[in-house]
């Protein structure tokens, strides 16, 4: 009798240990991953690297064009995707009646979020690059990327708007505000931190995406800083892919250095998102 009980307890204990090890292994993986990249690339990250254009000589190659390309693309994506995404979220949360059409739009957005990014690349290639003849320009890339992150922005913004309590809206209605006045003066200010967090996370998705941009033909030799939206461009992940896919090990070190730059940018963005989230949690308490 006691034998069975102790065996059951042993089983439970073993399971607990296995679960613990599994969980902590993701931390170990993260440490190995970051360590491996730092080991390969840290010595290459210096001013020359940040301030040089790509080159076929590894010691001269740099990442300037990619940094500026990423900044341009991020700015354009923000200008294009944020207004559309937030508007769509406001419409779905505040205006749309709960009917078949709004349900369809909702399901559609959820499914778009699960479409592989390379399919957006095919879409961008056919519509923006070929049909609208934007060629391999910053604008074509940014439009493609905007479509890709739009579902993410919409879903995050909806959550933020939904979290604003109904009483706030009723208070505004009670003093005679119209629907839009209510949204503008009460709902949006309260939802802004949440929307902002979602937007930053969507942007960090955009800055790391590679496949759709490769599809629209952004993997070319770009040795200049783009000056307007019709210029060809390269971005950090594309430049990294370019270096990774070369056989020489010197270029792999450059790729690792590029990854360090990319990860620093990403972590900064994520830290900002977390900071905004925590501050707004303190500020608004319903």
Partner 1 sequence: MFRQINLKEKGIEIFLSLSAFVSILTTMGIITILFAESFQFFKNVSPVEFFFGTQWEPLLVPKSFGILPLLSGTLIIVAGSALISIPFGVLTAIYLSQFASEKTRNIIKPVLEILAGIPTVVYGFFALSFITPILRSILPFTEVFNAASASIVVGIMILPMVASLCDDALRSVPRSLKEGGYALGSTDFEVIKGVLIPSSFSGIMASFILALSRAFGETMAVTIAAGATPKLTINPLESIQTMTSYIVQVSLGDTPQGGIEYQTIFAVGIVLFGVTLLMNIFANWVMNRYREVYE
Sites for partner 1 among residues 9-28 (CB under 8 A): 9, 11-12, 15-16, 18-20, 22-23, 25-27
Closest distance between partner 1 and the C-beta of residue 240, in Å? 5
User: Number of residues in contact with partner 1, rule: CB under 8 A?
Assistant: 85
Closest distance between partner 1 and the C-beta of residue 249, in Å? 9
Closest distance between partner 1 and the C-beta of residue 211, in Å? 4
Identified binder of partner 1 from the candidate list 43, 55, 180, 230, rule CB under 8 A: 180
**Nearest residue (CB) to partner 1, 119 versus 276:** 119
Window 219 to 238, contacts with partner 1 (CB under 8 A): 219, 237
Q: Which of 185, 158, 177, 169 is nearest to 91 (CA)?
A: 158
Q: Is 33 in the site for partner 1 (CB under 8 A)?
A: yes
Identified binder of partner 1 from the candidate list 54, 69, 85, 193, rule CB under 8 A: 85
**Nearest residue (CB) to partner 1, 229 versus 261:** 261
Per-residue DSSP letters for 188-249?
Answer: HHHHHHHHHHHHHHHHHHHHH--HHHHHTT--S---S---STTSB---HHHHHHHHHTSSSH
Rounded CA separation 25/15 (Å): 15
**Nearest residue (CB) to partner 1, 219 versus 225:** 219
Write down the H helix ranges in the chain: 2-41, 47-51, 64-90, 100-113, 117-124, 138-162, 166-174, 179-182, 188-208, 211-215, 236-244, 249-283
Tokens of 12: 């439970």
Rounded CA separation 87/33 (Å): 39
CB 234 within 8 A of CB 222: yes
CB 139 within 8 A of CB 216: no
Q: Which of 204, 209, 201 is nearest to 120 (CA)?
A: 209
Window 97 to 136, contacts with partner 1 (CB under 8 A): 104-105, 108-112, 114-123, 125-127, 130
Site string for partner 1, 44-73 (x = CB under 8 A): ------------------------------
Closest distance between partner 1 and the C-beta of residue 174, in Å? 17
137: which strand partners? 232
Tokens of 126: 């056919």
Window 243 to 272, contacts with partner 1 (CB under 8 A): 244-245, 252, 255-256, 259, 262-263, 266-267, 270
**Nearest residue (CB) to partner 1, 56 versus 227:** 56
Site string for partner 1, 146-175 (x = CB under 8 A): -x--xx--x---------------------
Cα dihedral 164→166→172→175 (10° resolution):
-160
Interface segment toward partner 1; rule CB under 8 A; list 34-42, 46-54, 58-66, 163-171: 34-42
């Amino acid at each position: 009798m006691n034998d069975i009980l102790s065996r059951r307890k042993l089983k439970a204990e073993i399971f607990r240990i296995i679960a613990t090890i599994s969980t902590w292994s993701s931390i170990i993986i993260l440490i190995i991953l970051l360590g491996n990249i730092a080991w390969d690339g840290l010595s290459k990250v210096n001013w020359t690297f940040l301030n040089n254009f790509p080159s076929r000589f590894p010691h001269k190659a740099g990442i300037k064009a990619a940094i500026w390309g990423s900044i341009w693309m991020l700015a354009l994506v923000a200008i294009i995707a944020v207004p559309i995404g937030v508007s769509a979220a406001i419409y779905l949360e505040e205006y749309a009646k709960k009917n078949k059409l709004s349900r369809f739009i909702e399901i559609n957005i959820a499914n778009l979020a699960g479409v592989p990014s390379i399919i957006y690349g095919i879409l961008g290639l056919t519509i923006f690059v070929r049909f609208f003849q934007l060629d391999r320009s910053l604008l074509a890339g940014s439009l493609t990327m905007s479509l890709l992150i739009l579902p993410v922005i919409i879903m995050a913004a909806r959550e933020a708007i939904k979290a604003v309590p109904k009483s706030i809206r009723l208070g505004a209605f009670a003093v005679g505000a119209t629907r839009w006045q209510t949204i503008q003066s009460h709902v949006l200010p309260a939802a802004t931190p949440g929307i902002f967090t979602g937007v930053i996370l969507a942007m960090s998705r955009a800055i790391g995406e590679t496949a759709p941009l490769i599809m629209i033909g952004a993997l070319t030799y770009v040795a200049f800083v783009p000056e307007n939206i019709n210029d060809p461009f390269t971005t950090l992940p594309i430049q990294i892919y370019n270096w990774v896919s070369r056989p020489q090990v010197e270029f792999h070190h450059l790729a690792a250095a590029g990854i360090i730059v990319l990860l620093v940018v990403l972590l900064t963005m994520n830290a900002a998102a977390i900071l905004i989230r925590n501050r707004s949690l303190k500020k608004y308490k319903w």
